[in-house]
Amino acid sequence: MRTLVDWLDERLQIREIKVALFDRKIPKGVGWIYTLGSLSLGIFLLQSVTGILLAMNYSPSPQFAYESVSYITHQVTLGNIVRGLHKWGASAMVLIVTLHMIRVYFMGSYKYPRELSWVVGVFIWLIVMGFGFTGYLLPWDQKGYWATMVGTTIAEQAPLVGPALAKLLRGGDTLGTVTLTRFYAIHVLVLPALVLTLIALHLFFVVRQGISAPPERDKPDGPHA
């Protein structure tokens, strides 16, 4: 093990990565609420794993989508739980990412010099919503179908670009086969690629800048005063 690490380190300097990530110095008193960010990442990993497992048995076509989800639920070993984890994990994701945002807001952690982390974070939050919106349709049940109908109809009302946007989302004038394949492609290809890029950027900022410091008792203006 040691030799393998040495071998890799000699070529790739992997110990520097370890130092950057784990020997980082962070302010004392960093407590539980500072774990919400990495927890969001954890839930994202859960969604990736369960999502891949679901994709193994899912068929994105109106004829078979519902049937395949039903098959996953009733026939596949632990399928019901994997689908449950993915479904409830989505809610947990929205909840935890939002809590993370609230924490950052209340502690003013978005302030100079961390503005960009915040802006990228807002984009990530938006993509999380996009995951929710596109994923909702995939079971092709009544709830998903009509919620998507409501959603794309709203998009249609946008001034100027509305009708074109709705057509692009639905892949036509009506909600049908192309809508489902499109939503599936967005859900499993486009959004993951986008969110991975943004997460990498977000983490790079955090590691590079260090997390913002909590207050200290004897310094009313915070530790930096």
Q: Within positions 12 to 71, which residues make up the interface with another protein, using CB under 8 A? A: 21-28, 30-32, 34-36, 38-39, 42-43, 46, 62, 66, 69-70
The first and second tokens of residue 102, run together, are: 């609230």
**Shortest distance in whole angstroms from residue 178 CB to another protein:** 14
- Counting Cβ atoms within 10 Å, is residue 21 exposed (0-12), middle (13-18) or buried (19+)? exposed
Q: Which of 124, 120, 102, 119 is nearest to 44 (CA)?
A: 124
Q: Could you say which of 13, 52, 88, 178 contacts another protein (CB under 8 A)? A: 88
- Please, which of residues 177-206 interact with another protein by CB under 8 A? none
Q: Which residues have C-beta within 8 Å of that of residue 216, sequence separation ≥ 6? A: 29, 222, 223
C-alpha to C-alpha distances, 155 to 103, 126, 140, 166, 204, nearest whole angstrom = 31, 15, 20, 6, 34
Amino acid at 191: L
Which residues between 95 and 114 bind another protein (CB under 8 A)?
A: 96, 102, 105-114
Instruction: Lay out the site mask for another protein across 144-173 (x = CB under 8 A, - = otherwise).
Output: xxxx-xxx-xxxxxxx--x-----------
Report the length, in residues, of the chain. 225
Stretch that binds another protein, among 7-15, 182-190, 192-200, 217-225 (CB under 8 A): 217-225
Q: Which listed residue (169, 175, 186, 188) binds another protein by CB under 8 A?
A: 175
Place of tokens 């890029």: 197
**Stretch touching another protein by CB under 8 A, among 2-10, 184-192, 195-203, 210-218:** 210-218
